[in-house]
Amino acid sequence: RTYKIGYFIGSRSSASINRILSKALIRLAPHDLEFTEIPIGNLPLYSPDFDGDYPPEPRALKDAITASNAILFVTPEYNRSIPGPLKSAIDWASRPYGQNSFDHMPAAVIGASPGQIGTALAQQSLRAVLGYCNSRQMTAPEAYITFHPDVFTADGDVSDESTATFLTDYMRDFRVHIERVLTVIPRP
C-alpha cells in the first residue's frame, strides 16, 4: 500500500542543506511513499494563549500531520540542539492538551551538517521530545549526515554510491517501520 509521509525541514534557510538532503531522500525512497512538506516558516511562536483558538497556520500544521501516515524530520543542529522554529512547530502540534498530533505517529529523524557529528546532538534532543510526544520513532538505523557539496546536487542527486545506498536503505527501513507500527496501531 501507499503511505503518506509528511516531512519537516528544520531549517528556514533559503539555501538549506537539509532541504537538499530531503530532496535526495525523496528521490531514493520506495516509490509507494508519497511526500508532502509540512512548512514551518510561516508559524508564529507557540503560546498557550492560543490553546482555545488556534490561528490558521498552526491549525493547518495539525491538519497536515493528522493527514499523514508518518512523519520524517530532516533537521539541522543549532547550538547542539533542535532549531527553535522546529521546536515551536512541535509545541504547536502537541497542543492543546489532549489533542497531541504526534500520539502514536510513526516518525524518523535525520539531519545534515557540514560538521563531523552530522546533527547527532540535535537528533538526540529531537528524539527526547518525540518520545515525550508518544511518537513511534524508528530507532535504527540512525543517520548522521556530514554534508559534502560534491556529493549532493542542489536538486538532490547523490553522486557518491555508498551515500546513495545508505540513504536508500534508510528510507526502505523507514517504510518497514511504518508498516509495522500501523499494523499494531492502525490510524484512520
Q: Which positions lie near ligand FNR, rule CB under 6 A?
A: 11, 13, 16-18, 76-80, 113-115
Closest to ligand FNR by CB, 115 or 141: 115
Compute the least distance from the CB of residue 6 to ligand FNR, in Å. 18
Tell me whether residue 126 or residue 178 sits nearer to ligand FNR (CB atom).
126
> Between 11 and 68, whose beta carbon lies closer to ligand FNR?
11
Nearest to 89 by CA among 46, 32, 120, 36: 46
Q: What is each CA distance from 144 to 33, 72, 75, 93, 120, in whole angstroms?
A: 22, 14, 10, 25, 6
Q: Which is nearer to ligand FNR, 17 or 108 (CB)?
A: 17
CB of 13 to ligand FNR, least distance (A): 4
* Nearest-approach distance from CB 124 to ligand FNR, in angstroms: 12
Chain centroid to CA 112: 12
